[in-house]
Amino acid sequence: MTTQTAAHPTSVDLPDPAVTNDTPAPSGVLPAARPGNADPRRAIAFMNQKGGVGKTTTTVNLGAGLARLGQRVLLIDLDPQAHLTLHLGIEPDDLDASVYDLLTDDRTPLDDVTHKVGKNLWVVPAQVSLAGAEAELAPKLIDGRAQRVLEHKLADDKIAGFDYVMLDCPPSLGLLTVNALTFADEVVVPMQSHFLSLQGLSKLLETVQLIRGAFNPDLTVTGMVLCMHNAQTILATEVSADLEAFLESARLADVPWRDARVLKPTVRRNIKLAECPSFGQPIFDYAPSCAGAEDYEALARALDATRVTSAG
Ligand SMILES: Nc1ncnc2c1ncn2[C@@H]1O[C@H](COP(=O)(O)OP(=O)(O)OP(=O)(O)O)[C@@H](O)[C@H]1O
Ligand SMILES: [Mg+2]
C-alpha cells in the first residue's frame, strides 16, 4: 500500500472494492474509462540504452504536454535511478511502495502504486530497490513470465481510463526495458545528434525486433526525438540527415521501424529543461514560456496527431 504525504498530491476518488481485498484502502487513484471513448490507448516506451540522452526529460514533458491537451496520461518510472519520480516532485525514500512492488509482488495492484501528480497526469514511481527486480524475476525468465510481468499487471481493465501510458526506460537493454517493450504498442527513441548515437541505434532496433518476434507482434517504432539539438552545428545536421536516410532505407522492409520518423520539432538545448527536475516540476509549471516548453508542447501536439495512424 502507498502512503501519500503532503508533498504527493493524489486524487481522492473512491477506491475500487474489487482490488482492496484485506489490504488497507488503496488510493483509488486510477481514472475510469471514458464512456464511448473510441480512440485506442497508446502505450509508448521511451528507450535508449545510452545514458543521458533525454529519455526522462522527454517522458515527463511530453507526458505533461499531452495532459495539457486533455489526454489522461500515466507515466511509469522503470529506472532505478528514479529520475522521473524526482522530476515529478516525489521523494522515492518517502514511498511505501513503488514500481518494484508492482513487478515483484503478486499482491500489489496498480492502484496501490499510482499517484496523481497533476491534472490528467499520474505516475507510478520508482525507488532504488528497482535495481533488484531483474534478479528477482530471473527464475521466471525460462517460461517467459519475467518478460511479461508488467503486461500482466497493467491488464487492460486497469488502464482503460488512460489515453497514454508512457514508460521511462533505464539506460540498458535489460529485463526492465524488455518488460516495457513487451507491454508497449510503440517505441520512441530520444537521442542526441552525435555520431555515436547512430551506432547504438542498430543494437536498440535489434532488441525491438527480437521482442516483437518473441512477445509483442504489433510493436512498432514511432520515431526518434532529437534532444538537446543545436541545428546550427554541422555535426547535428549531418547526423540528422544520416538518420533520415537510414529510416528511408527501411520503408519497404518488414521491420518495426519501417514507419519511423524523426519527430518534429527537435528539442532545442534549453537550460530551463535542465533546471526543472530539481524543482520537481514539468517544464510547463516551471517555465511555461521558455523554448523547452514550446518544443515539448509542439511535440505533444505532433505525437497526438499521429494517434490513429501509428496505433492502428
Ligand atoms: N533539451 C535539453 N536542454 C538542456 N538540458 C537537457 C535537455 N534535455 C535533457 N537535458 C538534461 O540532460 C540530462 C540528461 O537528460 P535525461 O535525464 O532526460 O536523460 P536520460 O536519457 O533519461 O538519462 P539516463 O539514461 O541517465 O536515464 C539531464 O540533466 C537533463 O536535465
Ligand atoms: Mg532517465
Q: What is the pLDDT of residues 230-263, one digit of tens each?
A: 888 888 889 999 999 999 999 999 999 999 999 9
DSSP state string for 233-248: SHHHHHHHHHHHHHHH
* Cα–Cα distance, 50 to 48 (Å, whole number): 5
Query: What is the pLDDT, as a whole number, of residue 156?
Result: 84
Atom of ligand 1 minimally distant from the CA of 270: 3
Which residue among 62, 81, 227 has the greatest number of ligand 1 atoms within 8 angstroms of its CB, and so is best to mutate?
Answer: 227
pLDDT-based confidence at residue 38 (cuts at 50, 70, 90): low
Looking at the CA of 58, which ligand is closest? Answer: 1
- Phi then psi dihedrals of residue 60, to 5 deg: -65, -50
- Asked whether the whole model's pTM tops 0.85, one would answer yes
Looking at the CA of 49, which ligand is closest? Answer: 1
* Cα–Cα distance, 212 to 29 (Å, whole number): 32
Determine the distance separating the centroid of ligand 2 and the alpha carbon of 83, expressed in angstroms. Answer: 6
**Coil, helix or strand at residue 44:** strand
Determine the distance separating the centroid of ligand 1 and the alpha carbon of 53, expressed in angstroms. Answer: 6
- Phi then psi dihedrals of residue 222, to 5 deg: -75, -40
Atom of ligand 1 minimally distant from the CA of 228: 1
* Cα–Cα distance, 58 to 286 (Å, whole number): 15
What is the chain's length?
312
CB pairs under 8 A, 24+ apart, for 205-210?
Answer: 205/255, 205/256, 205/257, 207/173, 207/177, 207/178, 207/181, 208/181, 208/256, 208/257, 209/255, 209/256
User: What grid cell was written down for 269?
Assistant: 538545448
**Coil, helix or strand at residue 123:** strand
**Segment 69-113, tens digit of pLDDT:** 999 999 999 999 999 999 999 999 999 999 999 999 999 999 999
Q: What is the CATH number of domain 37-311?
A: 3.40.50.300
Looking at the CA of 286, which ligand is closest? Answer: 1
